Every structure is written in structure tokens, then in C-alpha cells.
Amino acid sequence: MTNHYTIRHAQLQDAPRLSAIRPVIDGETEFMDREKGEAFITPEEFRTIIQTDEETPNHLFLVAETDGEIVGFSRCEGSPLKRSAHKVEFGVCLLKAHWGNGIGRRLLEQSLQWADIQQIRKVTLTVLADNHKAIKLYEQYGFKTEGILVDDKRLSDGTYHDTLIMGRIQTPH
């Protein structure tokens, strides 16, 4: 069990490790959007994403690290369009060996704190309707189901599953 971890901004030198762990994470669970190895992101492509996120005010890229190794990451990605500039989409990936240690929760918390500081009104995400543990976590942080995409994902066993669209709106104080 991992008790000691740090959450920090992604850095360019993280790109090779991020490229290596993303397919591992994708292959560990059916809850991710991709099968293992699909939509592979090279280290150079990760460097471009990190650089863009550093330069874009409504983007955030965090990594979770334990014992000097990256074990997961999260991103908030906003739009350059004025009509959508008030919102970001949140996504998170975490190696299965580190589930249940509060790392995913902390990535979410730090992302929401950042969004509030940036005065981002809305954070959205998608989650498989079967991922009850994640849905419960998101609800604890004010996310509400805004829609259901019926038979949205076809899993490796051939079954179809719904995806929930969830959102959290931060009202001004």
C-alpha cells in the first residue's frame, strides 16, 4: 500500500514515463476509453502536450509520483473558443496497483482547487455508468449526471455499456 506520494505539475522530462505507463493503465481496466496500445502517445507527443498545457491558462497537467516513479496523472483541458472558455474537461489515469490509496481523489481535489482559482465555472468528465466507485467519488465533489450516452462503449467481451456525462458548476461566492 502506498501512503507517500506527491502530486505535481507535469514536466517535459516526464514524457517518456507517461508514454510508457499510459498503455499499461489502459490495459488494466475496462473503465478507460482505450484498449491497451490504442491511440498510443509517443514521448515527443507527450512533450508537446505538456508544453501546450504549461502555456495555456485553461489547461492543467498533473502527475502523481511515489518513490520517484510516476504512477498516474490527470488533465484538465479547456477550449480556446470564447463560448466554451468557462469550462474544462477532467480526466484521470492511475496504475491499478495504486487504486484505493487516495491518489485519484487527490488529483481530483487539486484539479478542482486549480479550476476554482482560475475561475473556471464548469468541470466536466465522462465515466462508464458501471464505474460506481468513481461516480460516488465525483458526486462527493459536487458532480451531477447531466446525460447518459446509451451503449456508448463496446468492451472487450463484446458487451455495450452506457457512459455518464457529469459536470460540476462552481458558482461565484
- Domains belonging to the chain, first-starting first, are 6-169 (3.40.630.30)
pTM: 0.91
CA distance 18 to 3: 21
CA distance 129 to 145: 10
User: What is the Cα–Cα distance from 166 to 123, expressed in whole angstroms?
Assistant: 8
- What is the spatial distance between Cα 45 and Cα 66, in angstroms, rounded to a whole number? 24
3-state secondary structure of 3: coil
Closest CA to 61 of 94, 16, 107: 107
CA distance 148 to 164: 5
Q: Quick one: pLDDT at residue 132? A: 94
- For 158, left (φ over 0), alpha (ψ -120 to 50), or beta? left
Query: CB-side exposure of 150: number of CA atoms within 13 Å?
Result: 0
Give me the pLDDT at residue 2, please. Answer: 47
pLDDT averaged per 10 residues, the chain (length 173): 82 95 80 65 94 95 94 95 95 92 95 96 96 95 97 91 96 67
pLDDT of residue 32: 64
137, HSE (Cβ side, Cα atoms, 13 Å): 17
SS3 content of the chain, % helix, strand, coil (to 5): 35, 35, 30
Give the integer Cα–Cα distance in Å for 6 and 146: 32
pLDDT at 156: 84
CA distance 64 to 60: 13
Q: CA torsion 148→151→156→159, rounded to 10°?
A: 120
Could you tell me which residues come within 8 angstroms of residue 25 by beta carbon, excluding any fewer than 6 positions away? 32, 72, 93, 94, 95, 96
